[in-house]
Amino acid sequence: MSTKFIANHVRNVVTAMGFGMRKSLKDRDLELEAKLMDKFTDLGLSPTDLEPLEQFFQSICLLASLCYKHNPMDVKAYAAIYTILLLGVDDLFSEGSVICTFAHRFGTHEAQGHPFLDCLARLLRVETPKLFGPFGTNIIITATLDGINGSTLETWFPRGLPKLMPAFSSWQRTWTGYSLAYGCFIFPNVEFPESEYLGRYVQIKPSLRDVISFMNDILSFYKERVLAKEVCLIANLAQEKSISDLASLKLVCDSALS
């Protein structure tokens, strides 16, 4: 199985998804960036604490504008803030004692011990119910807690687990991708009231979760190889099924289209 074959296979998957980034990353959504500055202030993040996150503003705001272009500005801002905070929190996983208690502290309303985590907790607790119905709010919160827990597990086993049982890789991926939360951002309550629309879109949640995770893994495969990251779905599936990474990539591509 040649690299050229795999490259064409990935290209076909992206084309079949109808994905196309018409804008350049040099473009900016200045309105959204300005709104984020205000929202982070409202969430209690000081200018000093916010400074390390500002490097993500341009790209994440553009991403939110592209992925949630049909949604109101407040939803785009929520998605961007959520993503930027997760990027900031990602650097904290080396401090396992700080991050692994997030769920417990969230439930007991205790201070998290880091401004990024405190800001994320406030975002989930205060802002989420303003934009999403009770069902969507619950999914976003639980998906976030699961994502942090799954990423903590990856930190504890940086080289992966010694031998992976069948289906473990896919199960772990549903934790670490936050994909159920991102799927909920598509259906804010202001546009799709749960009282009217929940029964129509809830059944696509499992497929939406999988597609978001699969496409993330497919599109980030090159980055993972450059960084020699050993703990990712494609590498884990390769180990689990005793196949090459390229064969695993093809398998994930096929799953995304199935």
Range of lowest pLDDT (51-65, 135-149, 242-256): 242-256
Q: Is residue 14 in a domain?
A: no
pLDDT tens-digit profile of 135-188?
A: 999 999 999 999 998 888 877 877 777 766 767 777 777 777 899 999 999 999
257 and 166 both lie in a single domain: yes
Q: Is residue 17 in a domain?
A: no
Per-residue pLDDT, 50: 94
How many whole angstroms separate alpha carbon 142 and alpha carbon 219?
25
125 and 216 both lie in a single domain: no
How many whole angstroms separate alpha carbon 229 and alpha carbon 247?
17
Q: Is residue 47 in a domain?
A: yes
Per-residue pLDDT, 175: 78
251 and 167 both lie in a single domain: yes
The reply to whether the predicted model has a pTM over 0.85 is no
Range of lowest pLDDT (26-35, 72-81, 113-122): 26-35
Is pLDDT larger for residue 76 or for residue 174? 76
Average pLDDT for 215-220? 78
Q: Is residue 233 in a domain?
A: yes
Per-residue pLDDT, 23: 47
CB atoms within 10 A of CB 188: 21
Is pLDDT larger for residue 236 or for residue 200? 200
Q: Is residue 146 in a domain?
A: no
127 and 162 both lie in a single domain: no
CB atoms within 10 A of CB 93: 17
Q: Is the pLDDT of residue 2 over 70?
A: no
Q: How much is the mean pLDDT over the chain? A: 84
Per-residue pLDDT, 228: 60
Q: Is residue 224 in a domain?
A: yes
Q: Is residue 12 in a domain?
A: no
Q: pLDDT band at 236, cuts 50/70/90?
A: confident
33 and 124 both lie in a single domain: yes
Q: How far is CA 43 from CA 94, 126, 174, 224, in A?
A: 25, 9, 28, 33
Is pLDDT larger for residue 170 or for residue 53? 53
In DSSP notation, the chain reads --HHHHHHHHHHHHHHTT----S-TT---HHHHHHHHHHHHHTT--HHHHGGGGGGHHHHHHHHHHHTTTS-HHHHHHHHHHHHHHHHHHTTTTSHHHHTTHHHHHHHT---SSHHHHHHHHIIIIIHHHHS-HHHHHHHHHHHHHHHHHHHHHHHSTT--SSPPTTHHHHHHHHHT-HHHHHHTTS-TTTS-HHHHHHHHGGGHHHHHHHHHHHHHHHTHHHHHHTT---SHHHHHHHHHT--HHHHHHHHHHHHH-
115 and 63 both lie in a single domain: yes
Polymer length of the chain:
258
Range of the domain at 214: 158-187+194-258
Q: Is the pLDDT of residue 52 over 80?
A: yes
pLDDT tens-digit profile of 93-134?
A: 665 667 888 999 999 999 998 999 999 999 999 999 999 999
Which of 114, 131, 148 lies at the terminal end of a domain, its last residue? 131
Domain total of the chain: 2
Q: Is residue 152 in a domain?
A: no
Range of lowest pLDDT (47-51, 177-181, 232-236): 232-236
Average pLDDT for 218-236? 69
63 and 115 both lie in a single domain: yes
